[in-house]
């Protein structure tokens, strides 16, 4: 078994590519099930956020799996094969482990030190576990990554201060508006990004909010917390007539605001300036809107200059975080290598031998030396015959590269090591 990660992120693919390969929440289960249909894939977790689409897998053949997973990404999204190949990174074994630990710890994010990605990783892992796509190796891998993230955040100052995409968006807005107190902000979507962005805006003095969402109840709930009002998404264009700032963050697969919508809207506004930040991938606002006079549209990739300034400020903390990550990668790989068949077979035989001797010793005082010798030989023969089938199966699995699961199962079944049984 090999650990393999395929994906692209904000560094390797622009938002135009990332949005086409994004796995929406309504399709993620189907995607995980389809991945397991690939002949080389045994376990999988899919992480899809505004800044990355990554597939973490355990495979039997890395070369075959790399092609299968790349083909799957294109076929699942009905995109001609090869479009994303140039932007995909393929990471194996310790490099794949190091990457996941870095993502969980926030040092691979656009905004270095941000904490939201950890929650997204936990959600991705829970989703994969629910459909039985994550097995024993990814269970251990993701649990370890969460522990590493905790160490980095408690042992460094990496996450101190404003380090989220939301805070980055507000920094950008602050360069346009010197005062938010009289500005009306329309939030499109009632999720975590919207609420986090709104709270930062409030800290900067904003007081007027309208939340538009497909589910009116969620819009109203968030609006209540902000001291604003909630409306159904169908009313979005009506409330935007009076807006100064629009922040969009939904999981819609298609644009919510088209070029035609915005041209009509700007006529109603009499071309009064409108500032829009689209935090969604796929994007909520048609990029053609940028060409409309007095509409200032920014997406997640436009935040990169602010993100680079943030990364430079945190460079020393990244060095400290790397020390923690490197040590934990080494620890995980030590456990992973322990799944090799030789120590498993040796440990299995030792366990059976311990049990055999323990039971044999109980009979020693009841038997003559000759009888004891015969019983000793008989018990050895029985143990050898019992061990022959599992030993042969483990060796055969090793030859095909499919031994890790079997080795782990044997260790757990016979409790022959301290492998975590949780």
Buried b (16+ CB within 10 A) or exposed e, 353-391: eeeeeeebeeeeeeeeeeebeeebeebeeeeeeebeebb
Strand 184-188 and strand 208-213: the pairing is parallel
| Assigned token pair, 288 | 């053609």
Active site residue 38: no
CA distance 362 to 359: 5
DSSP E strands: which ranges in 236-392?
245-248, 274-278, 295-299
Other CB atoms closer than 10 Å to residue 335's CB: what's the count?
16
Give helix 341-361 / helix 369-399 axis angle, nearest 10°.
160
Please report, to the nearest 10 degrees, the dihedral formed by the alpha carbons of residues 26, 31, 34, 40 taken in order.
-160
What are the CA-CA distances from residue 337 to residues 3, 141, 403, 407, 408 (Å)? 12, 13, 11, 11, 11
- 221 preceded by cis ω (within 30°)? no
| Assigned token pair, 283 | 């994007």
CA distance 115 to 300: 17
Q: Which residue has the tokens 């809207």?
A: 265
Of 1, 28, 31, 50, the catalytic one is: 50
What are the CA-CA distances from residue 187 to residues 114, 199, 225, 228 (Å)? 21, 12, 13, 10
Q: Is the dihedral of CA 54, 55, 61, 63 positive or negative?
A: negative
- DSSP SS3 for 381: helix
CA distance 321 to 148: 9
Other CB atoms closer than 10 Å to residue 341's CB: what's the count?
19
CA distance 329 to 154: 18
E strand or H helix that includes residue 58: strand 52-59
**Residues labelled as active-site residues:** 50
């Amino acid at each position: 078994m090999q650990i393999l990660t395929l994906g692209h992120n904000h560094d390797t693919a622009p938002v135009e590519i990332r949005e086409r390969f994004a796995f929406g929440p309504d399709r993620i289960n189907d995607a995980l099930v389809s991945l397991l249909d690939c002949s080389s894939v045994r376990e999988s977790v899919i992480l899809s956020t505004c800044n990355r689409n990554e597939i973490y897998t355990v495979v039997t053949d890395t070369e075959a799996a790399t092609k299968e997973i790349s083909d799957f990404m294109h076929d699942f999204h009905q995109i001609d094969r090869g479009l994303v190949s140039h932007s995909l990174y393929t990471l194996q074994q310790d490099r794949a482990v190091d990457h996941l630990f870095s993502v969980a710890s926030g040092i691979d994010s656009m905004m270095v030190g941000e904490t939201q990605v950890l929650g997204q990783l936990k959600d991705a892992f829970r989703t994969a576990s629910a459909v039985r796509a994550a097995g024993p190796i990814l269970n251990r891998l993701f649990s370890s990554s969460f522990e590493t993230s905790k160490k980095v955040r408690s042992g460094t100052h990496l996450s101190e201060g404003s380090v989220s995409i939301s805070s980055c968006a507000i920094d950008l807005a602050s360069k346009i508006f010197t005062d938010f107190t009289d500005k009306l902000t329309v939030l499109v979507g009632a999720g975590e990004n919207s609420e986090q962005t709104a709270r930062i805006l409030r800290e900067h003095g904003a007081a007027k909010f309208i939340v538009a969402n497909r589910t009116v109840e969620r819009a109203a709930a968030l609006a209540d917390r902000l001291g604003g009002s909630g409306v159904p998404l169908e009313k979005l264009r009506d409330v935007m007539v009076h807006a100064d700032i629009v922040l969009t963050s939904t999981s819609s697969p298609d644009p919510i605001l088209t070029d035609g919508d915005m041209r009509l809207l700007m006529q109603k506004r009499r071309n009064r300036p409108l500032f829009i930040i689209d935090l969604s991938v796929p994007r909520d606002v048609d990029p053609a809107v940028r060409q409309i006079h007095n509409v200032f549209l920014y997406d997640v990739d436009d935040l990169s200059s602010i993100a680079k300034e943030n990364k430079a400020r945190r460079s020393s903390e990244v060095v400290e975080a790397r020390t923690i990550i490197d040590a934990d990668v080494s620890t995980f790989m030590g456990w992973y290598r322990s799944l090799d068949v030789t120590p498993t077979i040796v440990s299995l035989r030792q366990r059976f031998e311990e049990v055999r001797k323990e039971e044999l010793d109980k009979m020693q005082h009841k038997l003559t030396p000759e009888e004891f010798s015969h019983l000793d030989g008989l018990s050895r023969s029985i143990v050898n015959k019992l061990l022959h089938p599992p030993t042969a199966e483990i060796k055969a699995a090793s030859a095909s590269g499919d031994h890790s699961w079997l080795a782990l199962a044997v260790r757990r079944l016979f409790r022959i090591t301290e492998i975590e049984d949780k």
